[in-house]
Amino acid sequence: MRILVVGMGLIGGSICKSIKAATSHAVYGCDVQQAVLDDAIADGAIDGTGTMTDGTYDMIILCLHQRIAIQMVQEALPKIPAGTILVDTCGLKGRMVRDLTYRCRKADVRYVGTHPMAGREKNGYYASIPNLFQNANLIVTPVDGTDEAALDTVKELADQMGFGKIVTATPMWHDNMIAYTSQLAHVVSSSYVKDFCMDDALSFSGGSFQDMTRVATMDESMWAALFLDNRDNLLYHLDLLIENLTDYRDALKQRDEERLQYLIAEGRQIQEENVRKRQEQNELQKGETA
Amino acid sequence: MRILVVGMGLIGGSICKSIKAATSHAVYGCDVQQAVLDDAIADGAIDGTGTMTDGTYDMIILCLHQRIAIQMVQEALPKIPAGTILVDTCGLKGRMVRDLTYRCRKADVRYVGTHPMAGREKNGYYASIPNLFQNANLIVTPVDGTDEAALDTVKELADQMGFGKIVTATPMWHDNMIAYTSQLAHVVSSSYVKDFCMDDALSFSGGSFQDMTRVATMDESMWAALFLDNRDNLLYHLDLLIENLTDYRDALKQRDEERLQYLIAEGRQIQEENVRKRQEQNELQKGETA
């Protein structure tokens, strides 16, 4: 295949590098920064450069923020040949999949929504690595009208790139889960560091404190937009967390040791089950690799 | 020195192993489980067994839960020779240090309160390792009347055992910091897992979710007691966290993007400063080791 990757940041750059490392597909890059494209060619991450409207690709992979991605597709669609597979990698799927499924179907472009569950604490092309997706989950969000053959092509490529598990979800369920597993974690981390003891914490901290605070270094313009784009889901899980924390507070206030033990045991049992399932999944993946 | 370690769990066992590995001191073990003592002798972790009342040690190190430790010292004190150094390693210091300083002074026993900031997700002697304290912080909590020479002996031993930094704190400040850096993290983790999405989270989770949920597997009888023993401090920080989370909830409810950006930026700046300080400290430690 001839593959165009649009947006050569951490995800886009890593996609190029992992496709080049694992397949014989030709990979082309598109980015607003010419220096990044030059370096990507020098790195062997891409075979050349291109644009969405030069009309010569089997697959176009969008690695852009949601708001920019929708606008760019809207402008480029009239010039994208019928049959082209268009993939997006945005972290929210509800609005994206609704918009692009509708628009692409009218243009006979075969759209597939995905979300690669991988990242690093650094961003941008210069943080990209070929093994970023090794054993990571890839969420795919097909809906009524998604082209089955296009979906299979995407899954096969993901498999070659080293993804661990390919998970199918509806766009709405995906966004709900991301509100819980990622966005809420970022809100907690950002809230956790706002304590007058933070200045002195370094001397008293072990692993659990590092865990709580690690992702507090969010970029405010990107994350505020992401939170608002997924507002209802995030609000739901945030309310629930505040309720659960308030249960602890009330039991402590009332010096209710029995209730505290109950609350701790409840969490322990849920997490033990989670750890057990994760181990099972890891063993399954090991078995498949062996 | 002849050193007796009382309570051969994860901490006690690791203390024995690290002293034996790094010094020529004679180490004796005391535990209710004979099998653990037999295995510790076979492992070379201890040179023999002993009790607090056989009266032949330069230093006794208590590695027991607070409630048991205070009671055992109370019973043993009349038989501990004057001048013996008595060290405890409990995770809360306020009540412990107040009680033991007073009691030990009357018996001419030289008490030093400490808290080694190290742990593993497993517990018990069979999880103990000689390098558990490598580069970990040791908190020492001297008060008026703490014997300076005994404190120096403890610090020197800690240095030989591989501790990174020895931090001096008042018992009250220590307990306040532990409420924030450790206990609150455990309450958050336990609260975080109580969400109906937990069952499905495995497929949608990256590093930030693993971080949030890791320490939710607490033992309920131990942790409920720890929380109540430090109730006022923990309540303070828990209230503050709920307030900070509520700020996020309100901004989301009101769709206030500017306010969200402000809240995120505030957390980012605090955490950037924290990361910067941690890097400085790590470089300092590397420099000292080199």
Q: Which residue has the tokens 């945030």?
A: A238
Quote the pLDDT of residue B67: 82
Q: Are residues B117 and B195 in the same domain?
A: no
**CA angle (B119 as vertex; B15, B185 as ends), nearest 5:** 150
- A21 and A87 part of one domain: yes
Clarify whether residues A155 and A183 are in a common domain. no
Are both B59 and B185 inside the same structural domain?
no
**Is B268 inside any structural domain?**
no
B252 contacts in chain A (CB < 8 Å): 227-228, 231, 234-235, 238
- Verify whether the Cβ–Cβ distance A261 to B224 is below 8 Å: yes
Q: What is the DSSP letter of B76?
A: H
- What CATH number has the domain bearing residue A108? 3.40.50.720
pLDDT, residue A283, reads 81
Q: Are residues A164 and A22 in the same domain?
A: yes
* List of chain A residues whose C-beta atoms are within 8 Å of the C-beta of residue B123: none
In a domain, A192, yes or no: yes
Predicted complex ipTM: 0.87
Strand partners, B5: B29, B61
Q: Could you say which of B121, B145, B169 is where a domain stops?
A: B169
Residue among B212, B231, B253 minimizing CB distance to A188: B212
CB pairs under 8 A, 24+ apart, for B238-242?
Answer: B238/A245, B238/A248, B238/A249, B238/A252, B238/B184, B238/B187, B239/A249, B240/A194, B240/A195, B241/A191, B241/A192, B241/A195, B241/A245, B241/B184, B241/B188, B242/A242, B242/A245, B242/A246, B242/A249
pLDDT band of A205, cuts 50, 70, 90:
confident
- Same domain for A63 and A181, yes or no, is no
Q: Which of B169, B197, B217 is the last residue of a domain?
A: B169
Please check whether residue B265 lies inside any domain of the structure: no
Cα-Cα-Cα-Cα dihedral sign, residues A222, A225, A227, A233: negative
Kindly report, residue by residue over A14-44, the tens digit of the pLDDT: 999 999 999 999 999 999 999 999 999 999 9
Domain presence at residue A276: no
Residue A11: its pLDDT value, please? 96
Q: In chain B, how many domains are there?
A: 2
**CB-CB: which of A209, A216, A281 is closest to B267?**
A216
Which of B154, B169, B184 is where one domain is finished? B169
Position A145 pLDDT exceeds 90: no
pLDDT of residue A180: 96
Co-location of A217 and A178 in the same domain: yes
Residue B287 included in any domain:
no
| HSE value, Cβ hemisphere, 13 Å, CA-based, for A277 | 13
Pair (A165, A181) in one structural domain: no
CATH number reported for the structural domain that contains residue A207 in this entry: 1.10.3660.10
The CA distance from A54 to the nearest CA of chain B, in Å, is 35
Q: Which residues of B touch A133 (CB under 8 A)?
A: none
Write out the residue range of the structural domain in which residue A118 sits. 2-169
**Which helix (H) or strand (E) is B145 found in, with range?**
none
Inside any domain, residue B211: yes
Tell me the three-class secondary structure of chain A, residue by residue.
CEEEEECCCHHHHHHHHHHHHHCCCEEEEECCCHHHHHHHHHHCCCCEECCCCCCCCCEEEECCCHHHHHHHHHHHHHHCCCCCEEEECCCCCHHHHHHHHHHHHHCCCEEEEEEECCCCCCCCHHHCCCCCCCCCEEEECCCCCCCHHHHHHHHHHHHHHCCCEEEECCHHHHHHHHHHHHHHHHHHHHHHCCCHHHHHHHHHCCHHHHHHHHHHCCCHHHHHHHHHHCHHHHHHHHHHHHHHHHHHHHHHHCCCHHHHHHHHHHHHHHHHHHHHHHHHHHHHHHHHHC
How many beta-carbon pairs below 8 A join chains A and B?
303
- B24 and B156 share one domain: yes
B124 and B186 housed in the same domain = no
pLDDT in tens, A245-256: 999 999 999 999
pLDDT confidence band for A288 (50 / 70 / 90): low
Task: Indicate if the pLDDT at residue A289 is higher than 60.
Answer: no
A77 and A97 fall within a common domain: yes
| Distance in Å, alpha carbon of B159 to nearest chain A alpha carbon | 16
In this structure, is residue B288 part of a structural domain? Answer: no
- Residues B78 and B21 both lie in one domain: yes
Residue B285 included in any domain: no
Q: pLDDT tens track of chain B, all 290 residues? A: 999 999 999 999 999 999 999 999 999 999 999 999 999 999 999 999 999 999 889 999 999 988 889 999 999 999 999 999 999 999 999 989 999 999 999 999 999 999 999 887 778 999 999 999 999 999 999 999 899 999 999 999 999 999 998 999 999 999 999 999 999 999 999 999 999 898 888 888 878 898 999 999 988 998 999 999 999 999 999 999 999 999 999 999 999 999 999 999 999 999 999 999 888 877 876 666 55
- The CA distance from B116 to A91, in Å, is 41
Of A218, A231, A271, the CB nearest to B264: A218
